[in-house]
Amino acid sequence: MTKAVPKIIPLGFMFGLIILVLSAALPYHNFQLLRNGEDWVNHTMEVLHAADALRIAITDAESGQRGFLLTQEQEYLAPYEQARANIAQHLGNLLLLTEDNSTQYQYLKKIEALTNAKLKNCN
C-alpha cells in the first residue's frame, strides 16, 4: 500500500493544476464574450446615430423645399442644398456601417434609391 500513495500524489497535483488552468481560462473567455458584446452594442449605437442624422438631413431638405415652394424666396434653397449634401454623406456612412448585415444594407439601398428619386424630382 505504500507504493500506491506516491502514484496518487502526482495525480492529485495534475488534477489541481487542471482546475487552476480552467479557473483562469473561464473568466478570460467570459471577458472576451463581454467585450465582443460591448463592441456590437457600440456598433449598433453608431448605426442608430447615423440613421438619425440621415432622418434629420432628409427632414431639413423637405423643409427647405417646402419653404421655397411656399415663398419662392431663394434663401430657402440654401438649407435644401446643404441637406442634399448631408444626405449623401449620411447614406454613405450608413452603407459602410451596415456592410456586415445584408438585410440592413439592402434596406438602405432602397432608401438611397427612393431619396435620390425624391431629390431628383425636386430640381
Determine the Cα–Cα distance for residues 89 and 115; give it in Å rounded to an integer: 13
The pLDDT assigned to 116 comes to: 87
Q: How far is CA 76 from the centre of its chain?
A: 34
Residue 10 exposure: Cα atoms within 13 Å on the Cβ side: 4
- Pairwise CA distance, residues 25 & 18, whole Å: 10
**pTM listed for this prediction:** 0.70
What does the mean pLDDT of the chain come to? 87
Averaged pLDDT for residues 58-68: 88
Share of the chain above pLDDT 90, in %: 37
More confident residue, 37 or 7: 37
**2 pLDDT higher than 60:** no
Distances (CA, A) of 87 to 26, 34, 43, 62, 119: 46, 35, 20, 11, 10
pLDDT given at position 91 = 94
Digit-coded pLDDT (tens) for 75-108 = 878 888 898 899 999 999 999 999 999 999 999 9
pLDDT at 59: 92
- Alpha helix positions (H), the chain: 4-71, 77-97, 102-121
Please tell me the distance from the alpha carbon of residue 38 to that of residue 43, in angstroms, as a whole number: 9
3-state secondary structure of 123: coil
- As a whole number of angstroms, the distance between CA 87 and CA 2 comes to 83
Which residue reads 447615423 in cell numbers?
50
Q: Residue 123: pLDDT above 70?
A: no
